[in-house]
Copies of this chain bind each other. A is one copy, B any other.
Amino acid sequence: MEGPAFQCLPPWVKAKLSPKAIECIQKVHDWVENECIPAEEVMKEQLKKDRWQTPPLMGELRRKAKARGLFNLFLPHHFKESPGLTNLEYSCCAEIMGRCYWAAQTMNCHAPETGNIELLAKYCNEEQKKKWLQPLLDGTASSGYSMTEPEVASSDPTQIACRMERDGRDYVLNGRKIFGSSLSNKDLTFYILMACSDPENPNKWARHSMVIVPVNTPGITHVRNLDIMGYDMAPEGHAECVYTNVRLPAENIILEEGRAFEIAQGRLGPGRIHHCMRLIGQCERAYELALIRSIDPRKRPRGKLIGEFDSNIERIAQMRLEIDSSRLVVLNAADTMDISGNKAGKYVIAQSKILVPSMAARVIDECMQLYGGLGLTQETLLPEMWTYARFVRLADGPDAAHRYQVGRAELQAAPVFREQHQRYQDKRNELAKKHRLQSGRALL
Contact = CB atoms under 8 A, between A and B. Distances in A.
Contact of A376 (B40, B229, B369): B229
A354 B42 contact: no
Contact of A41 (B230, B374, B415, B443): B443
Contacts of A437: 41-42, 45
Interface in A16-73: 16, 33-34, 37-42, 45-46
A393 B408 contact: no
A318 to B, nearest CB: 6
Given A45-B435, A313-B404, A224 B440 contact: yes
Nearest to A226: B377
Contacts of A182: none
A16 B430 CA distance: 39
A135 interface: no
A25 B378 CA distance: 39
A381 B443 contact: yes
A313 B444 contact: no
Nearest to A351: B321
User: Chain copies in the assembly?
Assistant: 4
A174 interface: no
Nearest to A384: B230
Contacts of A312: 407
Given A325-B329, A417-B288, A437-B45, A299 B152 contact: yes
B40 A428 contact: yes
B291 A413 contact: yes
Contacts of A291: 410-411, 413-414, 417-418
Contact of A410 (B317, B380, B440): B317
Contact of A298 (B15, B151, B229): B151
A323 to B, nearest CB: 11
B387 A229 contact: yes
A372 B387 contact: no
Contact of A375 (B311, B339, B377, B394): B394
Contacts of A432: 41-42
B12 A16 contact: yes
Interface stretch (A115-123, A164-172, A187-195, A302-310): A302-310
Contacts of A46: 435
A202 interface: no
A377 B414 contact: no
Interface in A383-433: 383-384, 386-387, 390-391, 393-395, 398-408, 410-411, 413-415, 417-418, 420-421, 424, 427-428, 430-432
Contact of A326 (B11, B325, B390): B325
A235 B220 CA distance: 36
7 contacts: A10-B335, A12-B332, A229-B386, A230-B231, A317-B354, A328-B328, A376-B391
